[in-house]
Structure 1
Amino acid sequence: MIGSWHATVIDCPDPDSLASFYESLLGMIRVEHEPDGSWVTIGDAPDRPALAFAQVTGYAPPQWPGPDLPQQLHLDVRVHELDLAEAQVLTLGATSMDSGSPSFRVFLGPALHPFCLVAW
């Protein structure tokens, strides 16, 4: 095992309102909230897998079931050591997007779906 599921991230125009909807729907609590409103995370507890909502400028909603505007989300995978996990996912066939920060890195899986490795 390289890491563990950290979060599923849903792109949206307004993370606060979408998070409120899913809080009510799923009985979850807010565990993270960026002051600028660009990111909200809800879950059972701060150390458990979560749903996160990321603000996207110019967001175009998916059109089910058409492929022109498919579903827009990605997985966050919690890891203890970013450098080691990066080497392991690259060996498995992932492609680095050369994007991220000191606490996370972005990759594409073999079918070009994005996912992030998140330092824990």
Structure 2
Amino acid sequence: MTEYPQLTQTVLDTTGPRELAEFYRQLLGWSYRPGDEPPADGAPDEPDWLVLRGPGGGNGLAFQRVDRLPRTTWPEHDVPMQLHLDFTVSSPAELRRQRERAESLGAALLLDRYDDPDEPLYVFADPSGHPFCVFVA
């Protein structure tokens, strides 16, 4: 039997792990890994590493503190995106609803292809500048 490595999580660099984790927690409806929740007593919170997990388990997202993070200049290639996340929704109406949610949480719209008949989608930048797409499955 051949064994292969299993993907555990995708790690995003950020200068603000808690802020970025909160953005994705609210966007995706995921939960913190036990022990990674914000302090309940409001104590100072400057974590170097946080992990979110989906409701059914599986792969997660992790957030790692870095001192600086140049924002991608996509669609220009001066600073390439190097990685982006793809998320799907069930319908064009849901796509529009998720655009409103993402922007209300702090995402910036980079590309609007809502009217594309073959693949309606939006490309956003999260609060740390990482691109992500939401499109109709």
The TM-score normalised by the length of structure 1 is 0.51
Percent sequence identity is 32
Equivalent position of 1:60 in the other structure: 70
Counterpart Cα distance in 1 of 2:82 and 2:66: 11
Name whichever structure is richer in strand by fraction. Answer: 1
TM-score by length of 2: 0.46
| Residue of structure 2 aligned with 1:50, choices 52, 55, 60 | 60
CA–CA separation in structure 2 for the residues paired with 1:72 and 1:37? 24
Distance 2:61 2:73 in 1: 21
Task: Flag structure 2 segments of 5+ consecutive residues without an equivalent.
Answer: 38-44, 85-137
Give the unaligned 5+ runs of structure 1.
75-120
Query: Which amino acid is 2:20 matched to?
Result: L
- Contact 1:9/1:73 (CA < 8 Å) preserved in 2? no
CA deviations 1:41-82 (Å, max 9, x no partner) are: 1012696310111111121122222222222559xxxxxxxx
CA RMSD of aligned residues (A): 2.8
Structure whose CA Rg is larger: 2
Q: For structure 1, which segment, 48-57 or 37-46, has the greater mean C-alpha deviation from structure 2 after superposition?
A: 37-46
Stretches (4+) displaced over 6 A: none
The residue number in structure 1 matching 2:79 is: 69
What SS does structure 2 have at the residue aligned with 1:66? coil
Q: Distance in 2 between matches of 1:7 and 1:30?
A: 13
* 2:18 alignment counterpart: 16
